A and B are shown apart, each in its own frame.
Chain A
Amino acid sequence: MLYRILRQIDCGNHGVLGPMAGIHKLEWMNAKAINKLIEVGAISRVKAPPMEALPGLGRESKKLSTQGILNAGEVLEMEEGELAKKLKITKKQAQQVKGKVRGFLEPDKPKKSG
């Protein structure tokens, strides 16, 4: 599961994550802590769209769908090496694919106020 950081959270040894930190797995947190942070509005679950809905990723979407991977969230959770294997591309290219997917899911940077 992926989570969007909505307010700055202090994760102790894992550092401080601000709203611009984007999307995280928060794998070091237990379910109770995750639920509490959702309750207080500090994070939210990412409801990722299907891969085929993301423009410019049609080829990757088709290849992944034949392997049962349909959702953009699944792609973000995947290690680059694994994604590279599934798409038969290099790790660097896999990183770029993940970057593109991430770009669709992360919030826009806040506008500067006067």
Chain B
Amino acid sequence: MAETTTARNACNASVWLDDSGGTLLDISGSANSFDPSFTREIGDYHVFQQCWKKRLACGLDGSFTLNVVYSTTAAEAFQLLNAWLFEGCLATFRTLTWYMPDKNVGSNMWSAEVLLADFGWTEDPSDPGPVIATATLVPSGEVTHSVLAT
């Protein structure tokens, strides 16, 4: 088995989120981790006289956890998420786009229209480190995957 030569870390990953005006903003500089995850809905069943289970697959879903640094600039992740949360009861969809391993030709690019499902942080006076807030974004509709070609 050949050893891979194309392993990459996430140091240069890039995460972008819409502001209220629909302009994608690069929040990589104020986000310190990003956890996308996907699930496939699977149903299983047995039929008579068969030992092994059978399965059928149907829907796909995703959930994206974003850990951001508390900062005070409006166009950075924390203030962007906070303003989004408090824009009203009827949440609006925003475009979330991220790139791995970087934002160059050949990189993977995912994109989705998302809602802000959870947003929270801990304010601890005994912790000298920056406050880190965690947001969970959930997609509405398809999450697209492309290879960046420009």
Tell me whether B145 and A33 are in contact (CB under 8 A).
no
Residue of B nearest to A32 (CB): B105
**Contacts A10-B109, A39-B106 hold; do A33 and B150 have CB atoms under 8 A apart?**
yes
**Contacts A10-B109, A39-B106, A42-B106 hold; do A33 and B149 have CB atoms under 8 A apart?**
yes
Tell me whether A12 and B147 are in contact (CB under 8 A).
no
Q: Which of A1-24 contact B (CB under 8 A)?
A: 7-14, 16-17
Contact with A along B124-150 (1 / 0, CB 8 A): 000000000000000000001111111
Complex alpha-carbon distance, A13 and B149, angstroms: 10
Tally inter-chain residue pairs, CB-CB below 8 A. Answer: 47
How many residues on the A side are at the interface (Cβ–Cβ under 8 A)?
20
How many residues on the B side are at the interface (Cβ–Cβ under 8 A)?
12
| A to B CB contacts below 8 Å, 9 in the list | A7-B147, A10-B109, A14-B150, A16-B144, A26-B149, A33-B106, A33-B149, A36-B106, A37-B149
Chain B residues with a Cβ under 8 A of chain A: 56, 104-106, 109, 144-150
